[in-house]
Amino acid sequence: MGYSLRRIDKAAEEAEIIDAEMYPGIVFFSDCHRGCGTWNDSFLRNKTIYQAALNHYRKSGYAYVELGDGDELWENRCFESIAEIHKDVFEILSQFERERRLFMIYGNHDKTRKKQSRCTSENLFSPKYNQSAVIELPDKKGSLYLMHGHQGDMLNDRLWPLARWMVRYLWRPLELCGFNDPTSAARNYKKSSAVEKRLIDWAKKNGSSIMTGHTHRPAMRKVDDIYYFNTGSCVHPNGITCIELSGKLFMLVKWTICADDNGFMYVCRQVMTAMDMQA
């Protein structure tokens, strides 16, 4: 517990400040796990839904915040192959960047993005990456810290090179046989609950609310005097989840495929729950 709290402390010390009042809204995504288009690219099945959501927020003037694991750089060695297959997605993200509405936080699966890549195609999309960010909540309700959440998970934080090796060379091929990766908090309920508890304990100790990803479990709840948010992921079987902040209202949103009365399919936005920070 002590190690995790110190690691979360360190991440919080490096937080970039985001002024929420500069934008009509902010959308928070995490765990896109953009791959290289092969059978194990979990992002691929939801790519169209994600693009529709991105375009919606771009046209609405929202800022885009990605809370880590945007690119799958454990199973894939180089960003170049990811950039090539998902060029259209990075073009939209580049528009956010040009308009200074893009904030990128790295997670354990894309930690190498904070350093200069050896791949020449990095020039396609090479924004600044931080370990965390912070937003001042309205009405002096404290601060909301944004980080990926792997800081509460020793295997995926301090021992991340070992975990990456296990995923790349051991568990990736075994997944074809139906084995689940034990390094993943997203696929281990007990592990993800323990990580979330450490993050919440840190938030309560510091009197600051926290928003993370990592566990892939969307959440938005008040715990004592702080708030705990989790954006979920973009690799759910039937859609993607994110969190919107507009004024003082936080909304947990799901984007998925719906059908109208005539049977035509379309991408739809569904508000799962909302929380007014004035309440």
The predicted-structure confidence for 15-58, as pLDDT tens digits, reads as follows 999 999 999 999 999 999 999 988 878 899 999 999 999 999 99
Q: What is the mean pLDDT of residues 247-274?
A: 95
Q: Which residue has the higher pLDDT, 195 or 26?
A: 26
pLDDT over 70 (residue 154): no
How large is the average pLDDT for residues 146-162?
75
Give Cα separations from 189 to 8, 201, 223 (angstroms). Answer: 21, 18, 20
List the chain domain ranges. 2-276
Q: What is the pLDDT of residues 214-235, one digit of tens each?
A: 999 999 999 998 999 999 999 9
Give residues with Cβ within 8 angstroms of 230, minimum separation 6. Answer: 149, 196, 211, 212, 213, 214, 215, 217, 218, 219, 220
pLDDT in the model for residue 241: 98
Tokens of 230: 């989790």
> Pairing state of beta strands 16-17 and 132-136?
parallel
Work out the number of other CB atoms within 10 angstroms of the CB of residue 232: 28
At residue 120 the predicted structure's pLDDT band, cuts being 50, 70 and 90, is very low
pLDDT of residue 118: 43
Give Rg (Cα) of the chain.
Answer: 18
Per the CB < 8 A criterion, the answer to whether 68 and 150 are in contact is yes
pTM of this structure: 0.88
CA distance 172 to 165: 10
pLDDT in tens, 100-117: 999 999 998 888 887 644
Give the model's pLDDT for residue 187: 59
Contact present, 9 and 54 (Cβ < 8 Å)? no
Residues 6+ apart with CB under 8 A from 65: 18, 26, 27, 28, 29, 103, 104, 105, 133, 146
CATH architecture of the domain formed by 2-276: 4-Layer Sandwich (3.60)
